[in-house]
């Protein structure tokens, strides 16, 4: 029996605990290699420890360097800064890998297989913002600072290009807005073109597209893309667009990869509108768990997990409500467990 792999488990907020429970049940049925260190963060962290990112959670990830995480709620407007953004900064999780792959054939768009690689630490998304008060209005002017560095851009682009080569991608498209934000996103485009010329020319095709045109092209003909590489905020938006191409957020996983750790999660958030109703779809988190198994060089288990998901969805036709089915989270989980028996 190989040594268990120590990993941090953060159930998260909203539907987080429901989908994390489902994922653990399914992973156990698979013969999970992971020994979990359970921690809280987000709203659950505020409630339990008065902190959206408690020190214990950070120390756990520092030890394990590996985590599976449910969504963490971030208040809009005021309130605390996103624990997700802080986690990414703390562990230098500079690459966000988000595969967009058809799981259920016959949808509006079929045979989708593209990957979005999002820069995860820089850009406008970092939320360095402030208000300027004028007269009696404390929020008269809002300002945000976006920061992209050549080094940060090149590090992410190198990760993306290496991933493209390792997984046999034919074309990589840099998504930017360098016609308007000439410096902020121009530096990313420039770093990509320079790196390609220097090290990757001939190993795949490189092109580029402006973010607005990219959004339109993805909806008209997503098959023209193979891998999209982009800055933080654009990647955030395109990830949800990508999820929409394959049937919704319930099917879109993601990995935050960095120098000091790797954190696996669903693309979606805490879905407060359906929390506690027992109807959330745990598939995105399970697909993230499959990415985590692959990260630990357990490709065979990752493959079995993906096959069980595909067979449950397409052969048994057991699906949650977001996919047009009527199964509860628990009924869907049990169907997955039967497939793995």
- Residue 284 contacts ligand NAI per CB under 6 A: yes
Which range touches ligand NAI (CB under 6 A), out of 170-178, 198-206, 272-280, 298-306? 272-280
List 74, 96, 185, 333, residue binding ligand NAI (CB under 6 A): 74
What is the spatial distance between Cα 97 and Cα 114, in angstroms, rounded to a whole number?
A: 11
**Whose Cβ is closer to ligand NAI: residue 186's or residue 325's?**
325
Provide, rounded to whole angstroms, the least separation between the CB of residue 144 and ligand NAI: 17
Residues linked to residue 263 through DSSP beta bridges, in sequence order: 67, 256
Residues 19-38 that bind ligand NAI (CB under 6 A): 19
Interface pick for ligand NAI out of 169, 176, 177, 268 (rule CB under 6 A): 268
* Contact status: 253 vs ligand NAI (CB under 6 A): no
Q: Is 249 in the site for ligand NAI (CB under 6 A)?
A: yes
Question: How many residues lie near ligand NAI (CB under 6 A)?
Answer: 21
Query: Would you count residue 298 as binding ligand NAI (CB under 6 A)?
Result: no
> Are 68 and 292 within 8 A, CB to CB?
yes
Minimum distance between the CB of residue 308 and ligand NAI, rounded to whole angstroms? 18
Query: Under a CB-based contact definition with an 8 Å cutoff, are residues 156 and 194 in contact?
Result: no
Nearest residue (CB) to ligand NAI, 13 versus 37? 13
269 binding ligand NAI? (CB under 6 A): yes
| Burial of 237: CB neighbours in 10 Å, binned 0-12, 13-18, 19+ | middle
Residue nearest to ligand NAI (CB): 269
Cα gap 288→226, rounded to integer Å:
20
SS (H, E, C) the chain: CCCCEEEEEECCCCCHHHHHHHHHHHHHHHCCCEEEEECCCHHHHHHHHCCCCCHHHHHHHHHHCEEEECCCCCCCCCCCCCHHHHHHHHCCCCEEEEEEECCCCCCCCCCCEEEEEEECCCEEEEEEEEEEEECCEEEEEEEEEEECCHHHHHHHHHHHHHHHHHCCCCEEEEEECCCCCCCCCHHHHHHHHHHHHHHHECCEEEEEEEHHHHHHHHHHCHHHCCEEEECHHHHHHHHHHHHHHCCCHHHCEEEEECCCCEEEEECCCCCCCCCCCCCCCCHHHHHHHHHHHHHCCCHHHHHHHHHHHHHHHHCCCCCEHHHCCCECHHHHHHHHHHHHC
Residue (74 or 232) nearer to ligand NAI, CB: 74
Kindly indicate which of the ranges 88-96, 163-171, 261-269, 287-295 contains the residues binding ligand NAI, using the contact rule CB under 6 A: 261-269
Q: Which stretch binds ligand NAI (CB under 6 A): 90-98, 122-130, 267-275, 306-314?
A: 267-275
Q: Is 308 in the site for ligand NAI (CB under 6 A)?
A: no
**Out of 322, 334, 339, 340, the residue judged to bind ligand NAI by CB under 6 A:** 322
Is residue 52 near ligand NAI by the rule CB under 6 A?
no
The residue range among 49-57, 72-80, 120-128, 292-300 that interacts with ligand NAI, by the rule CB under 6 A, is 72-80
One of 247, 250, 253, 258 touching ligand NAI (CB under 6 A): 250
- Smallest separation (angstroms) from ligand NAI to the CB of 261: 15
Q: How far is the CB of 280 from ligand NAI (least distance, A)?
A: 4
Residue 18 interacting with ligand NAI (CB under 6 A): no
User: Which residues of this chain interact with ligand NAI, rule CB under 6 A?
Assistant: 15, 19, 71-74, 84, 249-250, 265, 268-274, 280-281, 284, 322
């Amino acid at each position: 029996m190989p040594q268990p792999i120590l990993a941090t488990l953060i159930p998260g907020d909203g539907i987080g605990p429901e989908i994390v429970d489902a994922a653990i049940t399914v992973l156990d049925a698979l013969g999970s290699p992971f020994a979990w260190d359970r921690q809280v963060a987000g709203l659950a962290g505020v409630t339990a420890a008065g902190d959206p990112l408690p020190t214990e959670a950070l120390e756990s990830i520092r030890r394990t360097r590996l985590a599976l995480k449910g969504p963490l709620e971030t208040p809009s407007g005021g309130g605390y800064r996103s624990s997700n953004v802080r986690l990414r900064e703390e562990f230098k999780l500079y690459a966000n890998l988000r595969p967009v792959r058809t799981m259920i054939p016959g949808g509006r768009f079929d045979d989708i297989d593209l990957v979005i690689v999002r820069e995860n630490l820089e850009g406008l998304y970092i939320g360095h913002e402030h208000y300027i008060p004028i007269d009696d209005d404390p929020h008269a002017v809002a300002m945000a600072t976006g920061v992209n560095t050549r080094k940060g851009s090149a590090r992410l682009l190198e990760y993306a290009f290496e991933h493209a080569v390792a997984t046999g991608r034919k074309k990589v498209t840099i998504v930017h807005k360098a016609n308007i934000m000439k410096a902020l996103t121009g530096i990313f485009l420039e770093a990509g073109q320079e790196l390609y010329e220097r090290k990757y020319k001939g190993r795949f095709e490189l092109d580029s597209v402006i973010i607005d045109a990219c959004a339109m092209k993805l909806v008209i003909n997503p098959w023209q893309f193979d891998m999209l590489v982009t800055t933080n905020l654009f990647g955030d938006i395109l990830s949800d667009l990508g999820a929409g191409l394959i049937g919704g957020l319930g099917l879109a996983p993601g990995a935050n990869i960095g120098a000091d750790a790797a954190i696996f999660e669903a693309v979606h958030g805490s879905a407060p509108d359906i929390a506690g109703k027992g109807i959330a779809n745990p598939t995105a988190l399970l697909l993230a768990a499959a990415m985590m198994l692959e990260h630990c060089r357990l490709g065979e288990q990752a493959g079995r997990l993906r096959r069980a998901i595909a067979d449950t969805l397409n052969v048994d036709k057991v699906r949650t409500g977001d996919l047009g089915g009527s199964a509860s989270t628990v009924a869907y989980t049990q169907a997955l467990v039967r497939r793995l028996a």
